Amino acid sequence: MPFSALCAQLAELEAQGLRRQRRVVETPQSARVRLDGREFLAFCSNDYLGLAADPRLVQAAQEGGARYGVGAGASHLVLGHGAAHHALEQALARFVDLPRALLFSSGYMANIGIVTALVGRDDAVFADKLNHASLNDAALLSRAQFRRYPHGDSGALEKLLAASRARRKLVVSDAVFSMDGDIAPVPELLALCERHDAWLLLDDAHGFGVLGNGGRGVLAHFGIVSPRVIYMATLGKAAGVSGAFVAAHDAVIETLIQRARSYVYTTATPPLLAHALLKSLQLIADEQWRRDRLHKIIHVLKQELKINQWKLMPSDTAIQPLVIGTNNAALAVAQRLAGRGLLVPAIRPPTVPQGTARLRISLSAAHSEEDVRLLASALNGLQ
């Protein structure tokens, strides 16, 4: 049987409590979702501002479809770069206050394209240990030296930078760490990059729309303006739609247009998505109440949880991980919550380090204070 080795691997995953299951969602993304005909209150999505099913975005997508059709038909460099894509790139660059922006079909593709276009064999990538998988995959694919430093450890990063003989140095970091919820020490990282003549690539997948004045992201949060920064953010999380962009110095963007293979060799995303994203950008900027609500309920969760056995990680963002420990224990807690109509994902290795399996509670402006109280009291009752 040619599949027997695969079956053995799958059985092994099952035995370790690591086999993933997909669930089929029957409703739009929101605080309440229906699975298998049953309603749940969900704390699983990255739709931090509650925009994914906003009727105004749905309407904008319909309008975009009517105006531009569905398929882009070609890659950006051939004939797929539409007026909506172009307008969105300009709006994004203005929004994050950087010279120029470039759209990618997803955050994964953006990271792969950025890193492989900017560094190669004679270069080095320096990465936080807890960075997103897409940044790690990108570094490996680039063939640059790949040096990882312990999470948040600027001292260790400095030593690596000082010892490096690489031609080009690229420091890469999640801005908000996706499984821990903490914010990277960006001013320190930038100071090190300046001292050692390195570039700083920030992946703001979880900060864009949420952090900083008007949701402008981690650079606005820290008040940072620097030509060394290559800023990347995704558009399928707080922005509620799909895709990603990178914003940076014109020479960086022009290089990516010429050389980023995950940009060049792929069909442009449907222009109706870009049209919807123009609307989303406006809602992100205008509706401060969404960020205010999010901060309020983060506070409510911390206040209401009264747990000794498990540990809520120190996070001030919408990602509030509760570390349980073993894979099976985390799964068991998630299953008991599900029995009460509450969905919280159990995140296990290799997404997080061994022995730190956790519930990744993610909060959204779509949740009410009452929703968060329900979750807290269920968790308080389970321990």
Ligand X SMILES: *Cc1c(COP(=O)(O)O)cnc(C)c1O
Residues that bind ligand X (CB under 6 A): 106-108, 111, 132, 134, 174, 178, 203, 205-206, 234, 236, 244
Q: Choose between 134 and 142: whose C-beta lies nearer to ligand X.
A: 134
Region at 341 (left for phi over 0; alpha for psi -120 to 50; beta for the rest): left
Query: For residue 249, what are the contacts with CB-CB under 8 A and spacing of at least 6?
Result: 98, 99, 100, 227
Question: Quick one: tokens of 290?
Answer: 């969404």
Q: Choose between 51 and 244: whose C-beta lies nearer to ligand X.
A: 244
The distance of closest approach from Cβ of residue 242 to ligand X in the complex, given in angstroms and rounded to an integer, is 7
Question: Quick one: tokens of 358?
Answer: 């956790």
What value does the CA radius of gyration of the chain take, rounded to a whole number of Å?
Answer: 21
Output the DSSP codes for 67-85: HH-S---SBIIIII--HHH
Q: Which of 81, 221, 237, 275 is catalytic?
A: 237
The distance of closest approach from Cβ of residue 177 to ligand X in the complex, given in angstroms and rounded to an integer, is 8
178 noted as active-site residue? yes
The distance of closest approach from Cβ of residue 171 to ligand X in the complex, given in angstroms and rounded to an integer, is 15
Q: Choose between 234 and 356: whose C-beta lies nearer to ligand X.
A: 234
Q: Which of 178, 262, 280, 362 is catalytic?
A: 178
Output the DSSP codes for 313-365: -S--SSEEEEEEESHHHHHHHHHHHHHTTEE-PEE-TTSS-TT-EEEEEE--T
Q: Choose between 134 and 145: whose C-beta lies nearer to ligand X.
A: 134
Question: Quick one: tokens of 49?
Answer: 């501002």
The distance of closest approach from Cβ of residue 133 to ligand X in the complex, given in angstroms and rounded to an integer, is 8
The distance of closest approach from Cβ of residue 206 to ligand X in the complex, given in angstroms and rounded to an integer, is 6
Helix 250-259 vs helix 107-118: crossing angle, to nearest 10:
100
Q: Choose between 127 and 305: whose C-beta lies nearer to ligand X.
A: 127
Q: Which of 76, 85, 169, 206 is catalytic?
A: 206
Torsion angle in degrees (nearest 10) through CA of 57, 63, 64, 66: 150
Beta-bridge partner residues of 100: 248
Q: How far apart are the first and last CA of the chain?
A: 46
The distance of closest approach from Cβ of residue 200 to ligand X in the complex, given in angstroms and rounded to an integer, is 15
Q: Choose between 174 and 182: whose C-beta lies nearer to ligand X.
A: 174
Q: Which segments within 121-184 are labelled E, that is strand?
A: 124-128, 145-149, 169-174
H or E stretch covering 167: none
Q: Choose between 134 and 364: whose C-beta lies nearer to ligand X.
A: 134
The distance of closest approach from Cβ of residue 104 to ligand X in the complex, given in angstroms and rounded to an integer, is 8
Region at 100 (left for phi over 0; alpha for psi -120 to 50; beta for the rest): beta
134 noted as active-site residue? no
Residue nearest ligand X (C-beta atom):
107
CA distance 102 to 252: 10
The distance of closest approach from Cβ of residue 303 to ligand X in the complex, given in angstroms and rounded to an integer, is 27
106 noted as active-site residue? no
Question: Quick one: tokens of 88?
Answer: 């969105």
Query: For residue 14, what are the contacts with CB-CB under 8 A and spacing of at least 6?
Result: none
Q: Choose between 237 and 290: whose C-beta lies nearer to ligand X.
A: 237
Yes or no: say if 239 and 209 are a contact pair by the CB < 8 Å rule. Answer: yes
- Residues annotated as catalytic are 178, 206, 237
